[in-house]
Chain A
Amino acid sequence: MFIAVASGKGGTGKTIVSTSLALVAKNCTYIDLDVEEPNGYVLLKPEIEKEIPFNLRVPKIDEQVCTFCGKCADACVYNALSIIPHLKKTLFYPDLCHSCGHCTYVCPVNGAIEEVNREIGKIRSGRSGVVKFIEGRIDVGVISGVPIISWIVNNYIDSNEINIVDSSPGTSCPVVESVKKSDYILLVTEPTPFGLSDLKLTVEIAKDMGKKVGIIVNKDTGIKIIDVYAKEVNVPILLKIPYSIEIQKSYSKGIPLIEAMPEMKVKFVELIDKILCENEKN
Chain B
Amino acid sequence: MKAFIPVEKNEGIDSKLDNRFARAGYFVVYDMESDKILSIEENRFKNGAHGVGIETGNYVIKSGCKLAIGPRLGPKAENILRAGNVEFYIAENCTVKEAIERYRAKS
Contact = CB atoms under 8 A, between A and B. Distances in A.
A96 B85 contact: no
A87 B58 contact: no
B83 A89 contact: yes
B76 interface: yes
Closest 7 CB pairs of A and B: A79-B51, A79-B54, A84-B84, A96-B51, A79-B55, A82-B80, A82-B58
A67 to B, nearest CB: 16
B38 to A, nearest CB: 18
Contacts of B50: 78-79, 96
Contacts of B28: none
Interface of B: 48, 50-52, 54-55, 57-58, 61-62, 76, 79-80, 83-85
Given A79-B51, A79-B52, A79-B55, A93 B84 contact: no
Nearest to B55: A79
B83 to A, nearest CB: 6
Given A89-B83, A89-B84, A91-B79, A84 B51 contact: no
Interface residues of A, number: 14
Contacts of A78: 50-51
Interface string A66-95: 000010010000111011110101010100
Interface of A: 70, 73, 78-80, 82-85, 87, 89, 91, 93, 96
Which of A80, A82, A91: most chain B Cβ within 10 A? A82
Contacts of B80: 82, 84, 91
A135 to B, nearest CB: 27
Contacts of B85: 87
A100 to B, nearest CB: 14
17 contacts: A70-B62, A79-B48, A79-B51, A79-B54, A79-B55, A79-B58, A82-B54, A82-B58, A82-B61, A82-B83, A84-B83, A84-B84, A87-B83, A87-B84, A87-B85, A89-B83, A91-B80
A85 B80 CA distance: 12
Given A73-B58, A87-B83, 13 more contacts: A70-B62, A78-B51, A79-B48, A79-B50, A79-B51, A79-B58, A84-B80, A84-B83, A91-B79, A91-B83, A93-B54, A96-B51, A96-B54
A267 to B, nearest CB: 42
A247 B58 CA distance: 54
Contacts of B83: 82, 84, 87, 89, 91
A34 B58 CA distance: 35
Contacts of B55: 79
